[in-house]
A and B are shown apart, each in its own frame.
Chain A
Amino acid sequence: MEQSAILLWAIVWLVVWGTIGGLVTPRIYARKDLDISQASLGGAAIGAALGPLGLIPLWWKTPQLRNRLLVFSGLIVVGILVIAFALADPDNLCVVNGGFVVSQLTNGIVIGIIYGLMALGLTLIFSILGVVSFAHGEFYMVGGMVVYYLGATPFYESFTAGTERLAENTGGLLGFVNYLIPPLLLLLAACVFTFVVGVIFERIFLRVMNSGAVDRPGEYAILVTFGLAFFLQYLTQALVGANPVKSQRFFDFPRAEIPAESGGLVKMTPGNLTLFDFVSIPNPRFTAALIAILMLGALMWFLYRTWLGKALRAVSQDRQAAAVTGINPDSMNTLAFGMGAMLAGLSGASLVQVFSWLPQVGIPAAARSFVIIVLGGMGSLPGAFLGGLFVGLVEAAGTGCIPDTTRAAAYIPAYGMIILTLVLLLKPTGLFGREL
């Protein structure tokens, strides 16, 4: 009891000085006629980090709040929290076992990459259509459902058996490729399906936004995407029922140890990958992260190297100017919505082997994506990716370190909401936001 009070007092200290810093600093900066866009965040960060020792010189000198200063004080805040936590609960697995911490963090990054991919779809839609799609979670859910139910068809099973036989006959690298074909086809099917649904929806329901046929298009978009979410969720439930399903892992790791017999660096079993003997990554998560990274690479290539991608980015920067140069903004809208839906569908498709899948599974995922895009800055692609990593890390730390495990699991969505609240309070534009 005595010790957990330390953590409580540390949090009270951070909150009190953070609040004072966050409230007073913008006033002082405004009085001195300085830039106040960072003042509230900077004041809160420095106040929380150093307390009065930091705030008094800050208010005295009112330096320009550079990012370096903010990151530095942010790190101090994290440091205070970590030390207070370690003092408060010295027997915790997170404090005693360094390997566990690294393992948790690795898993946080692995899952964060997939969160980032999903949020990237949402932010892509927002940057081009100016619309937050409330059906994003449902595309995620549908992607997973397509993979599971296609994978359960008899045709797919015989097809898999065929390719496996082929793989065994050919052997070697070519055999391994044969082995990968069926799951890749499943992913492709999920992508195509969600893309098509997204395109159809955009053509029917969102195309009218730009023609002036609906008044207050922003509000219309919120409601109509929410309606799509409702529709897709219950359509899925009516078609396949509400039992949780989980698909097989896409492929097994080969059994291997590198270097051989060392018990050390890299160890692979069919369901697990162990690095340095203590970082353990389950196969399904690893596969999902690998898919996400490949997809991210493909997306970057598409956005920065192809004509269509450049056209998309042009529309997101300036609709009218893009239209003048011969880009049809309406088709770019359709493409962006379809691609956003596809990215969500692909994240779902790659995670259906990790989590058990329900028609309702999209809601927390969508809520997490909202947190990520607000954190990263609405419409910012790198922001979405970094935000995804950050949220993944925070969730891993939260679930791993909070002693009451059932409660820690129940509150997973809450960690994201705390981040969201802080971002909205301190820096509503997010990390890389362009405008409010």
Chain B
Amino acid sequence: MSRAALGWILGAIVLLFFLVAPVAVTVSPYIMHLAITAFFYAILASSWSLLAGYGGQFSFGHMAFMAIGGYTSGLIGKFIRFTTAPTELCNDFSLFGNWWLVVLKPRDVGTIRDTCLDLAKTSTMPQGSLIVTPPVWATVLMGVVMGAVFGLLVGGLVLRLRSTYLALFTIGFSEILRAAISAEIPITEGQSGLEMLPLFPGGVSILGQTFNESSKIPPYYVMLFLLIASIALMAWLAGSRFGLFVRAIREDEEAAAALGVNIVRYKVLIFVVTSTLAAAAGAVQAHYIGIITPNILIILQMSLVISMAVIGGLENIYAAAIGAIIIQFMLELLRTSFDIGPFTIDMSLWRLVFFGLLLMVTLRWQRNGLIAPLFDRFTRGNVARETVAKRQVAAVPAEEAPAQSEK
């Protein structure tokens, strides 16, 4: 059996394990939660590695797009309703038939009074009129669209320039977004966090089994399938003509442009694709957690995603995803503290120091990451040997031929 086949089989086993484990055995909710969060980071890390490793575009705003996805979905769920009668108290927009689109008004700072819809229900609206909350899948979809729109705006502004400008701009963009979300308390609830609907309000039943709202199994599969789908999409993109163009741009922009690649268009395109994936992951994760706060935008989160991608393997989306899963579990394991003599070492901080150091050391001495080389051993292990063998075959006649003729 060749090594490549072994690699595929190993990959299939890992995938099967992730697919079957939660239903086959009872896994504690804590481990399930860790797994969901790990998949979430895996989507972020692998999409970032596509952008940075394949495209050579360094965005420090990946978490900002993630937050845009989450907040868009949450804000639509909070402020938009469909009703069969005008409320008079909120902002009503007439739709088809007797349906109305109602945009709720932000509450005043420091009040916990009822929303205008609650007031309208008892006063202006006729009895028995329906109030429909937009479904979660639709709000998530809107979050994804919003991620793409912002990706297009930021990418269109900055990607005309050298890649350093993208890094400079996105770090500021992320900070601004955090400041804005923290400051606009009437809309986003600021630091106390925006509450989100659960992914499946009222539970869900699949294959005759009913899961309630707080069950971890449906979100687990949603996140896992999102991860598989996004990796499949990215793998397809990376292997297509588009992926070749993007890698050509990474290696040498001028040369790629000279060969007729529209470099700005492809850079913007890959930026939009990866930002959209981040927004999708963010929206789903926010609904799963049930609350989203501006703290997901702190630079630490971005640093963790970058560490995951780099330690996994910057130029390999699978390795980045697996690196993210492993590091997420390691981060949890290291959430302890212990004593050395009189000093208490709080590992919850020192683990971050350790990962920062590991990030730098990996970049310096093991540029391909710690996991990607293992991949190469399996998937490309034969390639090197075959190439060497081919070269020998090609080289032997060329060297021996003159020797023979002399004889």
Contact = CB atoms under 8 A, between A and B. Distances in A.
Q: Do A and B bind each other?
A: yes
Interface stretch (B100-108, B143-151, B173-181, B396-404): B173-181
A425 B160 CA distance: 10
B164 to A, nearest CB: 5
A415 B393 CA distance: 66
B360 A231 contact: yes
A134 B306 CA distance: 14
A223 B306 contact: yes
Interface stretch (B77-85, B200-208, B348-356): B348-356
A367 B172 contact: yes
B346 A238 contact: yes
A86 B171 CA distance: 34
B346 A219 contact: no
B360 A227 contact: yes
A220 interface: yes
B22 interface: no
Interface in A228-244: 228-235, 237-238
Contact of A417 (B164, B172, B303): B172
A317 B56 CA distance: 27
Nearest to B304: A230
A105 interface: no
B363 interface: yes
A54 interface: no
Contacts of A238: 346, 349-350, 352-353
B391 interface: no
Contacts of B359: 223, 227, 230-231
Interface in A209-236: 214-216, 218-220, 222-224, 226-235
A102 interface: no
A406 B167 contact: no
B138 interface: no
A68 interface: no
Interface string B336-373: 00000000001001101101110110011001000000
Given A216-B250, A228-B356, A413-B175, 19 more contacts: A132-B168, A134-B167, A205-B363, A222-B58, A223-B58, A223-B306, A227-B359, A230-B303, A234-B352, A238-B350, A363-B175, A374-B165, A411-B183, A413-B172, A414-B180, A417-B175, A424-B161, A425-B157, A436-B161
Given A410-B179, A421-B157, A424-B169, A219 B353 contact: no
Task: Give 9 closest A-B pairs by Cβ, nearest first.
Answer: A231-B356, A410-B183, A238-B349, A227-B359, A234-B352, A230-B303, A230-B356, A227-B360, A370-B168
A233 B359 CA distance: 14
A222 B167 contact: yes
Interface string B49-91: 0001000101010000000000000000000000000000000
Name which of B158, B162, B299, B300 has the most chain A CB atoms within 10 A of its CB.
B299
Given A205-B364, A222-B164, A424-B165, A367 B180 contact: no
Given A366-B171, A428-B161, A223 B363 contact: yes
